[in-house]
Amino acid sequence: MKVSEAYPSKYLSAADLQGREVKVTIGQIDFEALPDGKRKPVIYFHNKSKGLVVNKTNANTMSDMFGDEMDDWLEKEIVLYSTRAEYQGKRVDAIRVKFVQPPPSTRAQERRAGAGRPQPPAQSAGAQPRPYDERNPPPDDRVPDDMNDGIPF
């Protein structure tokens, strides 16, 4: 028997994702007292049993995507993925979030219809475009529609 089975956590860990990207819909956000005594927001997803403790990095990413008001995040779709991150001087497994890209066929139809992505604000002459980083990732069309299959959290 695994320790994680003997003492299951109500919070999501990077290991729960099993190395896959998982598309989820935000169903509820609560502020909870964690075992370390700190109160943090915890996001619960539709059809999932574990919540995601929202660290500052993920909170800032979702704020960039959906706005500063957490109530506005409800019913939004995000993608969870695991990565390695620096924490207290050590490299550890971590969960990060990113925006759900619409399917390529939908974007192609929108472009033909004259819609598409909102255009970024006009830049002054000679200004460089904002570089891609964790909070401004490049577009990613690799997220499959069936990414929830077999992820047991």
Model confidence band, residue 93 (pLDDT cutoffs 50, 70, 90): very high
Asked if residue 60 is part of any domain, the answer here is yes
Asked if residue 37 is part of any domain, the answer here is yes
Asked if residue 49 is part of any domain, the answer here is yes
Instruction: Give the model's pLDDT for residue 151.
Output: 64
Domain count, the chain: 1
Asked if residue 146 is part of any domain, the answer here is no
Asked if residue 131 is part of any domain, the answer here is no
Predicted confidence (pLDDT) at residue 1 exceeds the cutoff of 80: no
CA dist 96 and 79 (Å) reads 8
Asked if residue 150 is part of any domain, the answer here is no
Rg for the chain, CA atoms, rounded: 18
12: Cβ contacts below 8 Å, ≥ 6 apart: 50, 51, 52, 53, 80, 95, 153
Predicted confidence (pLDDT) at residue 146 exceeds the cutoff of 60: no
Percent with pLDDT over 70 in the chain: 67
Asked if residue 123 is part of any domain, the answer here is no
Question: Mean pLDDT over all residues of the chain?
Answer: 82
For 78, the domain range is 3-112
User: Nearest-5° angle of CA 143, CA 108, CA 125?
Assistant: 95
Asked if residue 129 is part of any domain, the answer here is no
DSSP strands (E only) in the chain: 22-33, 39-45, 52-53, 77-87, 90-99
**DSSP string covering 52-92:** EE--HHHHHHHHHHH-S-GGGGTT-EEEEEEEEEEETTEEE
57: Cβ contacts below 8 Å, ≥ 6 apart: 85, 96, 134
pTM exceeds 0.85 for this model: no
